[in-house]
Structure 1
């Protein structure tokens, strides 16, 4: 079950490699996330000292929580193996590559995040994507009218 989706990523980047990772959460963040009170639109992933972190992910504090609710936009650690971090780090060190968050979902009751190794699109690539999308929409419309 997808809880949050980052649709803009597919327009701004070419996705090359995907990976499902866990997120280190504290307190009532899990309840808030399961209630759908999160956003990953402005989030990005960084590798710091051999560990991967997601920054800018917004999790609204749970309304029934205590005074000790964690901050809304705190830095959260991602849970993955060292070899996976190393593989992503080698690619990110090349020019034009970055790590982006695709979506947050539940997997067997656990909160998981899909991240991807992405290469930025140029403006002409974005225009091409829009043109393809328009063609597809026009074709679907024509098929619908025909039948």
Structure 2
């Protein structure tokens, strides 16, 4: 029987996520796939497997210089596009780290620690047609999620 590596390394998640806060919910593989189907999977992929924003309606592209600048950029974009009272699903570019659902305010407060995870990640707030991509190379892209699958 084949077992999925999904979520097999929760120890790689940022400390604030692993701290046992009841407001943070790790998603099962099935829950993660369901969230992916209405967010990340609505974008085309490049040959290298990254999201291609070529055919997407990009709302904002920003670049940050260091973790401090990146943390403030991410915090501002989370507040601007998702508000402070909603929840956000955080996907990692590494399937061994489980997708998590947490309050936007908590992601804003811990944006630097999210960047220190050393992987690319995406934010999606259920019901909101926006995806925020945060790449370790300093690029942040905000795009509308298409209602039509590619």
Give the TM-score of the pair, scaled to structure 1: 0.23
Give 1 or 2: higher strand fraction. 1
